[in-house]
């Protein structure tokens, strides 16, 4: 043996599940000190002699009090040692009794009842000190979140009887009274306090809830009026159980500007400019203007937005827009003056609208124009915890619109359209995406329905084996002119190799048609996926199955739902 050499030791732990093994290694002195420059052969032997007691202590938090431990320490070669610990943890000690009482208002709190139903400290179950501490922590956290600020443990004791091999738990908890919300105070001078109070889901005197404070903070952040929002409980007056709430707000700039550039296969290169006034007056009115120019046209829109009813979900919007878009070889330009009420109806988003629209376009090389007054209603709902990168979720949209020739419109018509997107996962890196769309227009004279309201198919979000808006009935020049009906479906499988990159296989079917019995076109392909900070980027290569078409490249960026 080299007297100057640093001894090394390999520590092997056998027959333990990973969680227990990790804790044993944390307790073992020989494991923790094996890399120390002070380690010697004699020190290794002394550390090894302590191992059995340290292993027993490491297993006790998990309820194992009767382990069988075999140890060995051998010198395998010059200055190289091996420590082996074969451990049978034995049976976990069972809970003999769980004596738990609670007094105070929390006893009737449904959230406490839910916590009590989920906890695992039941007679006959294996006892774990960790589960015992987790339950106490969960109880204390619930008290803090629900306003039981005087709560305390009156008794908390565990008796481990090794002779009968059972554990007895004694736990008494006094929640005291539940505190209430007091006055809501805003520190700001740009928006009327009356409007800001409507962002709150609680009133003075309501039971305190941390979740409601967080909801208020999220709602004020989403209002777009403020750069910084801080919501915090204030000082509780002596002898009171009402907590004043302080809201400190820092305004955003009066003018905000946005510039953007991008590319999509359907729109080609595009650039956008946005100008927003987050607050025009103390009533919270907003102005939002956006100009977009792309390879297929342009759009310009100005919205004047007024918060109404529940300002978290409801707003009245006056809008003015002009859009020009190429439809095959022709160009259509339409101008719209509209008003809409966006309203939250439970979990649904409801929009009631009235639009006055004039459109100029060509059909069969003839100049045409259209005038329509279009009332409409739409509903939308999304199921899922996240809208951008979704493992499991659903989105459903349905819209109804129409016009009457006795009320401004050139013809009587009605339109209905619905879309469904369904995403489900099996494992963290594989998912199936299904989507479908259906639409129908009924009109006294369909020739008077302008291109902007007709149905088209083909493109990155349609049948990907075809060009944008290339599918549907054609005119004498062979250009798609839009159809009375739409039917689309798609199935897609995605697999991710890591947290950012993946691949996809897909099959699309559908068409813009004049009758639901008409033929549908089909396409299939594969793609590359990248989870970017702004949402998924999809690059697809698709081909037609129905016809002899060239492969088409599609690029799309946006949230999953």
For 260-286, write each residue's pLDDT tens digit.
887 777 777 889 999 999 999 999 999
The fraction of the chain above a pLDDT of 70, given in percent, is 98
Cα–Cα distance, 537 to 503 (Å, whole number): 11
Average pLDDT, integer, range 113-130 = 92
**pLDDT band of 328, cuts 50, 70, 90:** low
Whether residue 1 is predicted with pLDDT greater than 60 in this model: the reply is no
Question: What's the confidence (pLDDT) of residue 460?
Answer: 87
Q: What is the chain's mean pLDDT, rounded?
A: 92
Average pLDDT, integer, range 65-71 = 94
Cα–Cα distance, 556 to 544 (Å, whole number): 19
Residue whose C-alpha is closest to residue 225's, from 253, 258, 257, 185: 253
Residue 411 corresponds to which tokens in the numbers above?
Answer: 């013809």
Which residues are CB-neighbours of 332 under 8 A, at least 6 positions away? 324, 325, 359, 360, 361, 362, 450, 451, 452
Burial class (CB in 10 A: 0-12, 13-18, 19+), 255: exposed
Question: What's the confidence (pLDDT) of residue 558?
Answer: 78
Burial 318-343 (b: 16+ CB within 10 A, else e): ebebebbbebbebebbbebebebbbb
**pLDDT band of 4, cuts 50, 70, 90:** low
Q: How would DSSP label each residue in 165-208?
A: TEEEEEEEEE--PPPEEEEEEEE-SSS-HHHHHTT-S--TTSBP
95-174 is a CATH 3.10.20.310 domain: yes
Average pLDDT, integer, range 166-187 = 95
For 13-56, write each residue's pLDDT tens digit.
998 999 999 999 999 999 999 888 888 888 999 999 999 999 99
DSSP state of 253: P
The larger pLDDT score, comparing residue 200 to residue 238, is at 200
Architecture of domain 256-557: Beta Barrel (2.40)
Average pLDDT, integer, range 293-310 = 94
Whether residue 78 is predicted with pLDDT greater than 90 in this model: the reply is no
Whether residue 327 is predicted with pLDDT greater than 70 in this model: the reply is no
The neighbour count for residue 124, using CB atoms within 10 Å, is 9
**pLDDT band of 79, cuts 50, 70, 90:** confident
Question: What's the confidence (pLDDT) of residue 211?
Answer: 94
**pLDDT band of 504, cuts 50, 70, 90:** very high
Whether residue 7 is predicted with pLDDT greater than 90 in this model: the reply is no
In CATH terms, are 8-88 and 180-251 the same topology? yes
The neighbour count for residue 310, using CB atoms within 10 Å, is 14
Whether residue 131 is predicted with pLDDT greater than 60 in this model: the reply is yes
Question: What's the confidence (pLDDT) of residue 296?
Answer: 86
The larger pLDDT score, comparing residue 6 to residue 470, is at 470
Question: What's the confidence (pLDDT) of residue 208?
Answer: 95
Fold of 8-88: Ubiquitin-like (UB roll) (3.10.20)
Average pLDDT, integer, range 135-145 = 95
Average pLDDT, integer, range 460-484 = 88
What is the domain partition of the chain in residue ranges? 8-88, 95-174, 180-251, 256-557
What pairs with residue 523 in β-bridges? 508, 544
Find the helix or strand (DSSP H, E) in which 21 lies: helix 18-27
Question: What's the confidence (pLDDT) of residue 554?
Answer: 85
For 357-411, write each residue's pLDDT tens digit.
999 998 777 889 999 999 999 999 999 877 777 889 999 999 999 999 999 999 9
Bridging pattern class, strands 180-187 and 242-251: parallel
Residue whose C-alpha is closest to residue 287's, from 273, 276, 297: 276
The larger pLDDT score, comparing residue 6 to residue 225, is at 225
Cα–Cα distance, 182 to 242 (Å, whole number): 5
Question: What's the confidence (pLDDT) of residue 5?
Answer: 66
Which residues are CB-neighbours of 280 under 8 A, at least 6 positions away? 286, 287
180-251 is a CATH 3.10.20.310 domain: yes
């Amino acid at each position: 043996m080299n007297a100057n050499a640093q001894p090394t030791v390999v520590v092997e732990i056998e027959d333990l599940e990973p969680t227990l093994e990790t804790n044993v290694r944390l307790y073992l002195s020989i494991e923790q000190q094996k890399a120390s420059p002070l380690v010697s052969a004699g020190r290794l032997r002394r550390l090894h002699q302590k191992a059995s007691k340290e292993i027993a202590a490491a297993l006790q938090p998990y309820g194992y009090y009767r382990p069988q431990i075999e140890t060995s320490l051998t010198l395998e070669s010059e200055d190289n040692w091996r420590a082996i610990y074969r451990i049978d943890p034995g049976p976990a000690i069972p809970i003999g009794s769980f004596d738990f009482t609670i007094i105070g208002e929390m006893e009737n709190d449904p959230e406490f009842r839910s916590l009590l139903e989920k906890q695992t400290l039941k007679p006959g179950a294996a006892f774990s000190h960790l589960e015992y501490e987790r339950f106490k922590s969960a109880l204390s956290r619930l008290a803090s979140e629900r306003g039981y600020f005087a709560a305390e443990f009156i008794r908390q004791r565990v008796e481990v009887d090794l002779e009968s091999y059972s554990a007895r738990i004694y736990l008494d908890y006094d929640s005291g009274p539940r505190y209430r919300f007091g006055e809501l105070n805003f520190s700001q001078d740009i928006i009327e306090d009356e409007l800001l109070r409507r962002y709150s889901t609680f009133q003075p005197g309501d039971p305190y809830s941390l979740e409601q404070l967080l909801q208020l903070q999220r709602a004020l952040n989403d209002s777009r009026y403020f750069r910084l929002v801080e919501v915090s409980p204030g000082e509780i007056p002596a002898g009171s159980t009402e907590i004043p709430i302080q809201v400190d707000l820092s305004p955003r700039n009066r003018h905000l500007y946005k510039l953007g550039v991008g590319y999509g296969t359907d729109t080609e290169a595009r650039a956008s400019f946005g100008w927003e006034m987050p607050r025009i007056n103390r009533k919270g009115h907003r102005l939002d203007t956006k100009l977009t120019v792309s390879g297929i046209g342009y759009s310009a829109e100005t919205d004047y937005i007024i918060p109404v009813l529940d300002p978290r979900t409801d707003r009245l919007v006056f809008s003015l827009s002009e859009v020009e878009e190429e439809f095959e070889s022709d160009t259509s330009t339409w101008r719209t003056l509209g008003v809409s009420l966006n309203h939250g109806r439970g979990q649904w988003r409801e929009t009631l609208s009235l639009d006055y629209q004039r459109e100029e376009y060509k059909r069969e090389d003839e100049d045409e124009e259209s005038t329509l007054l279009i009332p409409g209603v739409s509903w939308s709902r999304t199921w899922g915890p996240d809208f951008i990168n979704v493992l499991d979720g659903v989105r459903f949209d349905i819209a109804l619109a129409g016009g009457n020739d006795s009320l401004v419109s050139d013809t009587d018509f009605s339109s209905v359209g619905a879309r469904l997107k369904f995403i489900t996962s099996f494992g963290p890196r594989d998912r199936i995406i299904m989507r479908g769309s259906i639409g129908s227009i009924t009109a006294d004279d369909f020739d008077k329905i302008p291109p902007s309201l007709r149905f088209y198919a083909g493109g990155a979000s349609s049948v990907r084996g075809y060009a944008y808006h290339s599918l549907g009935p054609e005119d004498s020049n062979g250009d798609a002119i839009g159809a009375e009906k739409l039917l689309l479906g798609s199935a897609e499988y995605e697999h991710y190799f890591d947290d950012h990159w993946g691949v996809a296989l897909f099959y699309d079917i559908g068409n813009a048609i004049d009758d639901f019995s008409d033929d549908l076109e089909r396409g299939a392909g594969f793609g590359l996926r990248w989870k970017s900070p702004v949402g998924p980027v999809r690059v697809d290569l698709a081909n037609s199955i129905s016809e002899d078409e060239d492969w088409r490249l599609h690029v799309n960026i946006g949230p999953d739902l």
